[in-house]
Structure 1
Amino acid sequence: MSDRGYRRPLALSPLREHLRDTFWFAPTLGLVGVFALWWAASSLDTEIVAHLRDERAYTELGDLMSFAQDAKTIVTTISSAMMTFIGVVFSISLVAVQMASGQLTPRVVRIFVRSRISKLTLTVFLATFLFSLLVLTSYESEADPRRVTSVPLVQSMLTLAMVGLSLLLFIAYVSATLRLMQVGPVTDRITREALRVLRRMPRGPLSGEPLAPETTRVMHTGRAGVLRDVNVARLVRAARRQGIVLRLIPRIGDFVVPGTPVLAVHGGAAPPRHALAYTVSVGVERTPHQDLAFGLRQLSDIALRALSAAVNDPTTAVQCLDRVVQFLAAVVHLPLGAVHHRDGAGHVRLVQDVPEWTDLVDLAFEEIRRCSTDTPQVSRRLLAGIDDLLLLAPADRRKPLLRHRALLAQAVERSAPEAAERAFALLPDHQGIG
């Protein structure tokens, strides 16, 4: 079991990631902000009119009213056209996402949901629509500058500015959506998320510190589902107050059902139920927040779909293998097996099981290897990737790589009757067939 040095976890990290997995939070927050912006702009317009009336600058006030009436036509057009524009844009975008999920994997929809530019674009679009409606309520029918109480000058200018921002975001959003339909950007995004999980994992020197005997277990009482993540900060705090060590029994990504053990307690009594509330998050699907293997799972899914008879796109599988090798090269020297989370005093308080090196190699190569025996382009790239990892891997981590290399060679020999075909399919090539 390996140990990693303590790094204080972020208390709000799970909440922040869960909100990123929703598509309602940012637009809702934006709509609330629109009301605050409109109230501030309306108050400023009222103060401007009051100042001009105090100064008896009725000529300037009349000019402002004339400008505001001209702007009213534009604001009215914006309010009537913005909602239609939103519906058309996002209908086309959802069709594009559906095509991408059909060609690659349904899990790419999660990338769209978590996309900051998508949420920002929808937020600004809806905010512009709502703000224009609020501005229309600020126009007065009074034409006498001496009796008018407010002229929506600032509000009209803000509306025009929001329309300009919406047009710029529309260009950025279309560009981002088109990239989502391309294999390269999608696999790059998945790999960067997987590497981000790897960087967040605390690691440090090995330690032989044994755990105290197991005293009890905490059962899962929530709904059945996939273990998405755990609130490390809250669990560490609960274990420190109780003077115990908690061990997470299922891995992140495992499917848990009510009544099964989720935490093992070492060295004392279990923390009270309220101290463990909201520490384990269960959902309907895996997320990349703390799941080290989820990136490889997605890359493998895309490669398998590309190698299916219905798609028959080995080049996409080669692109996935490029990223698979990149990720394995990043973890080849890192300690794996278990993560030890410590409190501020340096005491181990939470032990979390993570995939071993062999688990990651099998996930990365097993299914793709079985489907690549009839595709020389993929078998050649797979061999080149394994050879690269053999150069990087220490001696104790070469065994699973050599096993997959040997199994691939045996499968190709069985599927290719001609010696020349076998030799060609077993020639390592970083481009598949360069």
Structure 2
Amino acid sequence: MNNVQLRKLWDALHSSYWFLPSLMVLMAIALSFIMLTLDRSIGFGDWSLIYTGGPDGAREVLSAIASSMVSVAATAFSITIVALQLAAANFGPRLLRNFMQDTGNQVVLGTFIATFIYCLLVLRTIYGEDYNPFVPHLSVTFGIVLAIFSIGVLIYFIHHASTIIQASHVIQSVSEDLNKAIDRLFPEKIGISPPPNPQHTEILPEDFESLASPIGAKRNGYLQFIDDEQLLKIARKNNLLLRIELRPGKFVIEDSILVMAFPRKRVNQKIIDEINKAFILGKERTEQQDVEFPVNQLVEIALRALSPGINDPFTAIRCVDRLCAGMCYLVQRKLPSPYRYDRDRQLRIIAEPVTFAGIMDDAFNPIRQYARSDAAVTIHLLEAIARIAQYTHNPEYLAVLRRHADMIERGGKEGLPEPRDRQDLQEKYLSVIQAVEQNRWISM
């Protein structure tokens, strides 16, 4: 199993509500056997902090703890389901993945279930016959400690459950995912960096389109991962040039083209199968190799906040602030070249590039379109453009920012009915254009 498949497996386990609680249950089982072994091998009856009651009292204590843990676990699970329903209704169903990945909820459920299992396993070993009674004093004491710890966990859960459904917490969580995706993806290189100023148009064979073999997908699903290193090995081993037609986050239809492999004469069924294995498909998008996914999540929260049924522009403004922070972070990174080379400086892979213009369109176009009649959000969009411009002197990036500022200004003029609002918008627009053009002049 390669690194990409391991990341896919870990992502699936991390998003489940059974994996971490199952590990904690296994730890409780192991711990019960360890404590019982200590009870049988070492006497603890004279210790002042150790439970010293008889078998009937030990049974009652463990039974009370076990039954209460089941009740509390059921209550915690019900609260979690209600929180998921509220999240789906207020923030969108795509945000459920973030709630499913919440480690705090998983630890809480795992603690209650693990305590219940521990008490059951210790309870079965207690017997009070006159000829050979056995009370695992240390194990019962540790069960009481687990019960006290579970009470603390319950208090934490009540606070945590009321916190994670707040809009500010959800927006911050998605924003952190966006920053992590930028850190993870854009510094990453496949193979060796291209030589200085390569003439890509001359490197690509003129007969590429006519002699390349299309390799189709074997099933439907969202493209979650691409094993770039494996593709590079396949291309080098078989002396191929591969052009990837899709990037992570796109929906793949069965038999749609994943890769164009050149030349066709070197492609066989084995190579087709190996290339297909390098493309990991799933039923939903993930942020592991898809930087646009957390952007879309923030945009979805903003659009729901701007809908007539909710009408919450302040939440939309928070989303704009987080998108602005992510774009400020992004413009300071060098986007990777779509051309990937092997150790011999031979062009092997042409990947579909992620562009700043594309990410900005995903981030700002939908909000601009929905907020054209909202003066506060529209003006805040212009302020975000000005703040992003402060972090870059790249002429291409500044041209993209100028284009978005122009669209926001035109949309606001058409959508704002109040003349004073339009005047404020025009003043803000002129200040933004001045900031963008000043940075463009510095870059020259």
TM-score (norm 1): 0.83
Once superposed, what is the RMSD of the aligned Cα atoms? 3.1
Instruction: Say if 2:295 and 2:323, in contact at 8 Å, map to a contact too.
Output: yes
Contact preservation (8 Å) 2:194, 2:339: no
Gaps of 5+ in 1: 1-7, 53-57, 430-434
Equivalences for 1:77-88 in 2 at 5 Å?
Answer: 77-88=64-75
2:153: which partner in 1? 169
Note the C-alpha offset of 1:83: 1.0
Name the SS of the counterpart of 1:221 in structure 2.
coil
Q: Separation in 1 of the partners of 2:327 and 2:46? A: 73
Equivalent residue in structure 1 for 2:8, among 3, 11, 14: 14
| Cross-structure match for 1:34 | 28
Pairing 1:11-410 to 2, within 5 Å after superposition:
12-48=6-42, 66=53, 69-144=56-131, 147-148=132-133, 150-201=134-185, 202-203=187-188, 207=195, 208=198, 210=203, 215-222=212-219, 224-244=220-240, 246-266=242-262, 268-269=266-267, 272=271, 275-276=274-275, 278-336=277-335, 338=337, 351-393=350-392, 394-410=394-410
What SS class does the counterpart of residue 42 from structure 2 fall into? helix
> Cα–Cα, structure 1 residues 176 and 237, in superposed 2: closer, same or farther, change >3 Å?
farther
- Supply the distance in 2 between the matched residues of 1:354 and 1:46 (Cα, whole angstroms): 65
Give the direction of change, closer, same or farther, for the CA distance of 1:155–1:381 in structure 2 (3 Å limit): same
Equivalent position of 1:413 in the other structure: 413
Give aligned pairs, total. Answer: 409
Amino acid at match of 1:251: R
CA contact (8 A) 2:413 2:422 kept: yes
- Asked if the contact 2:223–2:248 (Cα under 8 Å) also holds between the matched residues in 1, the reply is yes
TM-fit CA distance, 1:314: 0.4
Aligned partner of 2:433 in structure 1 is none
Would the alpha carbon gap of residues 45 and 265 (structure 1) be closer, same or farther in structure 2, given more than 3 Å must change? farther
Give the counterpart letter for 1:134 in structure 2: L
Amino acid corresponding to residue 108 of structure 1 in structure 2: L
Using a 3 Å threshold, how does the CA distance of structure 1 residues 121 and 278 change in structure 2: closer, same or farther? farther
Q: Deviations over 1:88-130 (max 9, x none)?
A: 1221232123223312222221111001111111111111111
Indicate the SS of the match to 1:285.
coil
Runs of 5+ unmatched residues, structure 2: 430-444
Distance 1:403 1:159 in 2: 65
Check conservation: 1:306, 1:316, Cα contact below 8 A: yes
- Is the 1:380–1:426 contact (alpha carbons within 8 Å) kept by the matching residues of 2? no
Q: Is the 8 A contact 2:175 2:294 kept in 1?
A: yes
Q: Distance in 1 between matches of 2:21 and 2:339?
A: 38
Counterpart secondary structure, 1:398: helix
Question: 1:231 offset after TM fit, Å?
Answer: 3.6
2:402 aligned partner, one-letter code: L
Taking a change above 3 Å as real, the CA distance of residues 408 and 190 of structure 1, as seen in their structure-2 partners, is same
2:130 & 2:345 partners in 1: Cα distance?
73
Distance 1:221 1:108 in 2: 29
Deviations 1:201-238 (CA, angstroms, capped at 9, x unpaired) = 2446664374675743432113x121122344544454
What secondary structure does 2:20 align onto? helix
Q: CA deviation at 1:423?
A: 1.1
CA apart distance, 1:246: 4.3
Which residue identity is paired with 1:255?
F
Structure 1 residue 338, shift from structure 2 partner? 4.8
State the 1:298 CA deviation.
0.6
Structure with greater contact order relative to length (CA < 8 Å, sep ≥ 6): 1
The answer on whether the counterparts of 1:227 and 1:282 sit within 8 Å (CA) in structure 2 is yes
Amino acid at match of 2:32: W
Contact between 2:242 and 2:260, CA under 8 Å: does it hold in 1? yes
Q: Please, what TM-score do these two structures have when normalized by structure 2? A: 0.82
SS of residue in 2 equivalent to 1:392: coil
Please tell me the residue identity of whatever aligns with 2:369.
R
What amino acid maps onto 2:22 in structure 1?
A: T
